[in-house]
Amino acid sequence: MRYSVAKPVSTKNYGFQKICILSCTFKLIAYLRHGKQRIMRLSILHGLFVVVLLAATVQSCRKKTERDVVEIDTSDEYHCYNSELDGDELGEDCGGLDCDACATTTAPCTPAEDVIRIKAWEFGPIEDKPVTSTTLDIDGDGVWEFRAYTSASDYLKLQFVAQPDITQIYQGTEFLPQYPWEYEIEVEYVQASFDNVKGTGDIYVHYTAGAYVIEACEFGFYITGESPDPDQRFNVTFD
């Protein structure tokens, strides 16, 4: 990929071009004044020589000005150094085909794969709910919503305000944050038979074999206004 950046030509350089043209014009007029009789006797060939000389001088002035238009050639890795998460990156300036590998985070436990360990209602037990299917949707505002279904109507919802950065540890909250750099995500377990429960705690994001893996240890699912019970966790591959 080549990026071309044209630097605007300054007024000073335009002035230089005008000065060159005017200077050539004045010299020609002076030459005509002092050698009027000789000019009258010039052959057509001599007249063409003067015209060509003037055109060459103007072209020289133009090239002088055009040197201020600079083409900057950059490599395909330009986006790896712009302090943004863009292109095919998985973290800020890392991951993807062009950039260096990301330094990923590591969860302090190893939850069972594709299982949500949760206390789904206030007086219920903590139980393991196997994940049956997953989805990932990105809306028009750039919000990434991951869903892990445990039944046709019940699912874990994880909402990121922007593309997840696998180098960061996120914090689960009740509401979607306003800015990506807050590194918070909205966590909610939606269910048909009971009230939805919120989640709080550290969340780790990985990218393995072309799929996002999101996990949490000692996570707290709770009904709003209640204290979360410990020993809740999840590990879900969204493929």
At residue 122, the pLDDT reads 79
| Residue 17 pLDDT level (bands cut at 50, 70, 90) | low
At residue 58, the pLDDT reads 56
At residue 48, the pLDDT reads 60
- pLDDT tops 80 at residue 93: yes
| Range with lowest mean pLDDT among 50-59, 94-103, 125-134, 177-186 | 50-59
- State the average pLDDT over residues 60-89: 67
In degrees, rounded to 5, the angle at the alpha carbon of residue 87 between the alpha carbons of residues 147 and 143 is: 30
Q: pTM here? A: 0.67
Q: Alpha-carbon distance 17 to 206, whole Å? A: 58
Considering only CA atoms, which of 79, 73, 90, 58 is closest in space to residue 206? 90
- State the average pLDDT over residues 63-86: 65
Domain edges within the chain: 11-66, 115-238
Q: Output 71 or 137, whichever has higher pLDDT.
A: 137
Long-range contacts from 141-144, C-beta under 8 angstroms, 24+ separation: 143/176
At residue 177, the pLDDT reads 84
- State the average pLDDT over residues 38-61: 57
Q: Alpha-carbon distance 79 to 69, whole Å? A: 23
* Residue carrying structure tokens 């993807």: 96
Q: Are the C-beta atoms of residues 155 and 136 closer than 8 Å to each other?
A: no
Q: Alpha-carbon distance 167 to 106, whole Å? A: 10
At residue 77, the pLDDT reads 73
C-alpha 90, offset from chain centre? 10
Q: Alpha-carbon distance 159 to 174, whole Å? A: 10
- pLDDT tops 70 at residue 16: no
Q: Is 173 exposed, middle or buried (0-12, 13-18, 19+ CB in 10 A)?
A: middle
Work out the mean pLDDT of the chain and round it to a whole number: 79
Choose the most confident range, by mean pLDDT, from 7-21, 45-59, 159-173. 159-173
* Residue carrying structure tokens 């043209």: 21
Tens of pLDDT along 129-168? 999 999 999 999 999 999 999 999 999 999 999 999 999 9
Q: Output 7 or 143, whichever has higher pLDDT.
A: 143
